[in-house]
Structure 1
Amino acid sequence: MHDIRTIRDNPDQFDAALARRGLEPRAADLIALDEKRRALVTELQTGQARRNEASKAIGAAKAQRDEETAGALMAEVAALKEKLPAMEAQEREISGALNAELAGIPNLPAADVPEGADEDENALVATHGEPPVFDFEAKAHDAIGPALGLDFDTGAAMSGARFTLVRGPVAKLHRALGQFMLDTLTEEFGYEEVVPPLLVRDEALFGTGQLPKFAEDLFRTTDDRWLIPTAEVSLTNIVAKQILPADALPLRFTALTPCFRSEAGAAGRDTRGYIRQHQFEKVEMVSITTPEASDDEHERMTGCAEAILTKLGLPFRRMKLCTGDMGFSAARTYDLEVWLPGQDRYREISSCSTCTDFQARRMNTRFRPEGEKSTSFVHTLNGSGLAVGRTLVAVLENYQRADGSVVVPEALRPYLRGMDVLEPA
Structure 2
Amino acid sequence: MLDPQLLRDNLPGVAKKLADRGYQLDVQAWQSLEDRRKALQIETESLQSQRTQISKSIGQAKAKGEDMQPLLDQVAGLGDQLDQSKAALQDIFAEMEQVTLYLPNLAQEDVPVGQDEADNVEIRTWGTPPTFDFAVKDHVDLGAVSGFMDAEAAATLSGSRFTVLSRDLARLQRALTQFMLDTHINEHGYDEFYVPYLVNDQAMLGSGQLPKFADDAFITEDGRFLIPTAEVPLTNLVANHILDSDALPIKMTAHTPCFRREAGSYGKDTKGMIRQHQFDKVEMVQIVHPEESNQALEDMTNHAENILKALKLPYRVIILCTGDMGFSAAKTYDIEVWVPAQNTYREISSCSNCEDFQARRMQARFRTPEQKKPQLVHTLNGSGLAVGRTLLAVMENYQNQNGSIRVPEVLQPYMGGEQVINRAE
Q: State the distance in 2 between where 1:370 and 1:77 align.
A: 43
Task: State the partner residue of 1:229.
Answer: 228
Quote how far apart the aligned CAs of 1:199 are.
1.1
Task: State the partner residue of 1:290.
Answer: 289
Amino acid at match of 1:119: E
Q: State the distance in 2 between where 1:311 and 1:62 align.
A: 83
In the TM superposition, what are the counterparts of 1:289-328 in structure 2 within 5 Å?
289-328=288-327
Counterpart pick for 1:132 among 116, 130, 133: 130
For residues 188-237 of structure 1, the C-alpha deviation after alignment (integer angstroms, 9 at most, x for no partner) is: 00001000111111111111111111111111111111111000011111
User: Are 1:148 and 1:422, in contact at CA under 8 Å, matched by a contact in 2?
Assistant: no
Secondary structure at the counterpart of residue 385 of structure 1: strand
Q: State the distance in 2 between where 1:23 and 1:165 align.
A: 39
Task: State the partner residue of 2:97.
Answer: 99
Quote how far apart the aligned CAs of 1:81 are.
3.4
Secondary structure at the counterpart of residue 271 of structure 1: coil
TM-score (norm 1): 0.95
Amino acid at match of 1:184: T
Quote how far apart the aligned CAs of 1:53 are.
4.1
Amino acid at match of 1:414: P
Quote how far apart the aligned CAs of 1:44 are.
2.0
Check if 1:33 corresponds to 2:33. Answer: yes
Task: State the partner residue of 1:88.
Answer: 86
Task: State the partner residue of 2:406.
Answer: 407
Q: State the distance in 1 between where 2:308 and 2:151 align.
A: 26
Quote how far apart the aligned CAs of 1:36 are.
1.6
Quote how far apart the aligned CAs of 1:96 are.
0.7
Quote how far apart the aligned CAs of 1:162 are.
0.9
Check if 1:359 corresponds to 2:340. Answer: no
User: Are 2:349 and 2:385, in contact at CA under 8 Å, matched by a contact in 1?
Assistant: yes
In the TM superposition, what are the counterparts of 1:220-259 in structure 2 within 5 Å?
220-259=219-258
Quote how far apart the aligned CAs of 1:75 are.
3.2
Secondary structure at the counterpart of residue 342 of structure 1: helix
User: Are 1:150 and 1:170, in contact at CA under 8 Å, matched by a contact in 2?
Assistant: yes
In the TM superposition, what are the counterparts of 1:26-425 in structure 2 within 5 Å?
26=26, 29-55=29-55, 57-58=57-58, 61=61, 67=67, 70-146=68-144, 147-425=146-424
User: Are 2:201 and 2:225, in contact at CA under 8 Å, matched by a contact in 1?
Assistant: yes
Q: State the distance in 2 between where 1:138 and 1:152 align.
A: 20
For residues 374-421 of structure 1, the C-alpha deviation after alignment (integer angstroms, 9 at most, x for no partner) is: 332111110000000000110111111111111100010000100111
User: Are 1:4 and 1:31, in contact at CA under 8 Å, matched by a contact in 2?
Assistant: no
Q: State the distance in 1 between where 2:299 and 2:64 align.
A: 75
Aligned length in residues = 423
Amino acid at match of 1:225: R
| Cα distance, 1:283–1:36 mapped onto 2, change above 3 Å | same
TM-score (norm 2): 0.95
For residues 261-291 of structure 1, the C-alpha deviation after alignment (integer angstroms, 9 at most, x for no partner) is: 1111211111111111111110000011112
Task: State the partner residue of 2:16.
Answer: 16
Amino acid at match of 2:24: E
Deviation larger for 329-338 or 139-148: 139-148
Q: State the distance in 1 between where 2:47 and 2:198 align.
A: 45
Q: State the distance in 1 between where 2:288 and 2:102 align.
A: 25
Amino acid at match of 1:110: Q
Amino acid at match of 1:103: L
Amino acid at match of 1:106: P
Q: State the distance in 2 between where 1:292 and 1:59 align.
A: 52
Amino acid at match of 2:420: V
User: Are 1:129 and 1:316, in contact at CA under 8 Å, matched by a contact in 2?
Assistant: yes
Quote how far apart the aligned CAs of 1:54 are.
3.6
Q: State the distance in 2 between where 1:395 and 1:120 align.
A: 27
Secondary structure at the counterpart of residue 37 of structure 1: helix
Task: State the partner residue of 2:4.
Answer: 4
Quote how far apart the aligned CAs of 1:7 are.
2.2
User: Are 1:285 and 1:384, in contact at CA under 8 Å, matched by a contact in 2?
Assistant: yes
User: Are 2:23 and 2:103, in contact at CA under 8 Å, matched by a contact in 1?
Assistant: no
Quote how far apart the aligned CAs of 1:247 are.
2.0
For residues 1-44 of structure 1, the C-alpha deviation after alignment (integer angstroms, 9 at most, x for no partner) is: 11121222223331231232133345554344233223212322
Q: State the distance in 2 between where 1:351 and 1:58 align.
A: 64
For residues 305-333 of structure 1, the C-alpha deviation after alignment (integer angstroms, 9 at most, x for no partner) is: 00000101111111111111100001111
Quote how far apart the aligned CAs of 1:59 are.
6.2
Amino acid at match of 1:162: R
Q: State the distance in 2 between where 1:354 and 1:362 align.
A: 15
Quote how far apart the aligned CAs of 1:63 are.
6.8
For residues 143-183 of structure 1, the C-alpha deviation after alignment (integer angstroms, 9 at most, x for no partner) is: 11133411100111101111111111110001000000000
Q: State the distance in 1 between where 2:238 and 2:69 align.
A: 54
Q: State the distance in 1 between where 2:295 and 2:110 align.
A: 14
Secondary structure at the counterpart of residue 219 of structure 1: coil
Quote how far apart the aligned CAs of 1:84 are.
2.9
Deviation larger for 149-158 or 27-36: 27-36
Deviation larger for 245-254 or 366-375: 366-375
Secondary structure at the counterpart of residue 308 of structure 1: helix
Between the two proteins, what is the percent identity of the paired residues?
52
Secondary structure at the counterpart of residue 341 of structure 2: coil
Secondary structure at the counterpart of residue 390 of structure 2: helix
Amino acid at match of 2:6: T
